[in-house]
Amino acid sequence: MTYAIDAIRRDIPALADVVYMNYGTEGVMAESVLAPYIEMLSRFERYGHFERMKIADEMTRCHETVALLVKCRVEEVAITRNGTDGVSMVLGSFPFREGDELLIGGEEHPAIVYPAFALQRHRGVRVRRFAFHDDPAQTLAAFASALTPRTRVVAFSHVSCETGKRTPARAIVAAAQARGARVLVDGAQTIGWMDVDFPALGADYLTGSAHKWLCGPKGSGILIVHRDRLDELVPAYVGGGSFGVDFPWTRLDRPEEIHAEWAAGATRFEYGMRNPALYAGLRLAIDHMSGIGWDEIRRHQRRITDALKARLAAIPGVRVQTPADFDASSPILNFAVDGISGRDLSQRLWNEHRVVQRAVREPMGVRLSNGYCTSTDDHDRLVAAIEAIRRVPVPA
Ligand SMILES: Cc1ncc(COP(=O)(O)O)c(C=O)c1O
């Protein structure tokens, strides 16, 4: 079946104005998702409570849709504000003891690095790191030699947000669990394009953003907690929704008499006022991509990423800093141009050529994300932009 790229792109008008290659930060929403999402958002915003109640079922539908996407149980799903939220909830709620070790990957986003630092500084947790390599077997070896009997939790990215390297997540999870550690896989750069199968991955926790590759509402994320691990976490943040409905609040002065149970499932992490329109937007975004076909989307992303790597590698002075093998990487591509800093290149690609991407500090370069709607036409415009920048390395 041919991939209906033209029809897909017609549903995203911004793609006619800009070369959009930043799904690793935030995706652009299709109009056919945006219109019903905005409609629900508007009703709630304009009329408040009773309009919210009318769309409250959207929360359940969203949990079900996310569960289908990552093949987990519905009670394992929590919808969060972003990818970081889920990581912070797990690491902040895990019963670490002083001297425990937290082992993190070598190319982590602040979503993992900052909570790790906070645990190190305030709770006496030792943080250790293992390097990511181009060859997943080497990454696994680096992981194995960093694992110790004191490792309580391992937290790492399924795909690096800096280089697009893919980690051998399933093997890392199995090795860590064999030593008694719990494992958090950060799926911010995989959920929405890769077939992320929670049971097959075997992880204890999986987190991800919904506004990146899924092109869902901005400010939405996914947290999956294995049902056997739910009660082990002591939620660091709680509020309305965290406990079962019959909380005996009048007995707060006699806590020993309070036998409140956590809300069933991972929704205990969804405390306080939630906006069901956001849940609806996420459900619609996932349905939109499922309607196109996940296999077709994945084939398309692999094909265009491979093609772009070859085109960039053929330009003199351009270095591709992502593994050539798609199975060891992802639709993310980090590249550098000799003589230009990543930050300047990123600025010029946007200011002079309307290419949306992001700069990377280490390895210095620019990160491109090939989304489900990225086309060869985008690549033609990108390559022309890079060539123009190379011809005039310092703008007049
Ligand atoms: C690997 C990785 N983890 C976590 C995050 C944080 O996601 P969010 O911006 O949704 O909090 C990002 C964002 O770029 C990421 O790339």
Per-residue pLDDT tens digits for 317-335: 999 999 999 999 999 999 9
Per the listing, tokens 């990146």 go with 212
Closest approach atom of ligand 1 to CA 82: 10
Nearest CA to ligand 1 atom 8: 83
Q: pLDDT tens across 238-280, in order?
A: 999 999 877 888 888 888 888 888 998 999 999 999 999 999 9
Q: How far is the CA of 92 from the centre of ligand 1 (A)?
A: 17
For residues 210 and 332, give the distance between their C-alpha atoms in angstroms, rounded to a whole number: 17
Q: State which H helix or E strand residue 273 sits in.
A: none
Q: Is the C-beta atom of 111 inside 6 A of ligand 1?
A: yes
Q: Is 82 in the pocket of ligand 1 (CB under 6 A)?
A: yes
- Domain 5-21+293-387: which CATH number of 3.90.105.10, 3.40.50.150, 3.90.1150.10, 3.40.50.970: 3.90.1150.10
pLDDT class of 66 with cuts at 50, 70, 90: very high
pLDDT at position 269, please? Answer: 96
* Residue carrying the six token digits 């999402």: 37
Q: What is the mean pLDDT of residues 163-171?
A: 98
Contact indicator for 42, 164 with CB cutoff of 8 Å: no
Ligand 1, residues 89, 132, 186: which to mutate, most atoms within 8 A of Cβ?
186
CA gap 270, 225 in Å, rounded: 13
Q: Ligand 1, atom 13: nearest CA belongs to which residue?
A: 25
CA 188 / ligand 1 centre spacing (Å): 5
Q: How far is the CA of 1 from the centre of ligand 1 (A)?
A: 33
Q: CA 55: distance to chain centroid?
A: 26
Residue 135 confidence class, pLDDT cut points 50, 70, 90: very high
Residue 109 Cβ < 6 Å to ligand 1: yes
With pLDDT > 70 as the criterion, what percentage of the chain qualifies?
A: 99
**Whether residue 394 has pLDDT greater than 80:** no
What's the whole-number mean pLDDT along residues 277-306?
98
Residue ranges in the chain assigned as alpha helix (H): 5-10, 31-47, 49-54, 57-70, 83-93, 110-123, 136-146, 169-178, 198-201, 276-292, 294-313, 342-353, 376-391
Is residue 346 within 6 Å of ligand 1 at its C-beta? Answer: no
Q: Give SS3 for 307.
A: helix
Q: Is the domain covering 32-289 a CATH 3.40.640.10 domain?
A: yes
Asked whether 196 and 158 are in contact (CB, 8 A), the reply is yes
> How many CB atoms within 10 Å of residue 337?
23
Ligand 1 centroid – CA 213 distance (Å): 11
Report yes or no: 265 and 225 within 8 Å, Cβ to Cβ. Answer: no
How far apart CA 173 and CA 347 sit, in angstroms, is 38
187 CB under 6 A from ligand 1? no
Atom of ligand 1 nearest to the CA of 221: 10
Q: Which atom of ligand 1 is nearest to the CA of 161?
A: 16
Measure the CA–CA gap between 78 and 43, rounded to whole angstroms: 24
pLDDT value for 248:
82
Q: For residue 79, what are its two tokens?
A: 């919808």
Say how many Å lie between the CA of residue 191 and the centre of ligand 1.
11
Q: What average pLDDT does this structure show over 358-385?
A: 98
Separation of CA 43 and ligand 1 centre (Å): 30
Report the distance separating Cα 348 and Cα 344, nearest Å.
6
- Structural domain boundaries in the chain: 5-21+293-387, 32-289
Six-digit token string for 36: 């019903």
Average pLDDT, the chain: 96
Residues 6 or more apart whose CB falls under 8 angstroms from that of 7 comprise none
Q: How far is the CA of 346 from the centre of ligand 1 (A)?
A: 19
Q: Is the CB of 209 under 6 A from ligand 1?
A: yes
Q: Which of 91, 114, 156, 189 has most ligand 1 atoms within 8 Å of CB, for mutation? A: 189
With a 6 Å cutoff on the Cβ, whether 210 touches ligand 1 is: no
161 lines ligand 1 (CB under 6 A): yes
pTM of the model: 0.97
Q: Which residues of 82-107 are buried (b: 16+ CB within 10 A; e: fewer)?
A: bbbbbbbbbbbbbebeeebbbbbbbb
Residue 396 has pLDDT above 70, yes or no: no
User: Residue 85 Cα, ligand 1 centroid: separation in angstroms?
Assistant: 10
> What percent of the chain lies above the pLDDT cut of 90?
93
pLDDT band, residue 341 (cuts 50/70/90)? very high
Query: Cα of 212 to ligand 1 centre, how many Å?
Result: 9
- Ligand 1 center to residue 83 CA distance, Å? 5
C-alpha–C-alpha distance, residues 395 and 150, integer Å: 53
Please determine, for residue 20, whether its predicted confidence score (pLDDT) is greater than 90.
yes
Residue to substitute in 80, 209, 220 for testing ligand 1 pocket (most ligand atoms within 8 angstroms of CB)? 209
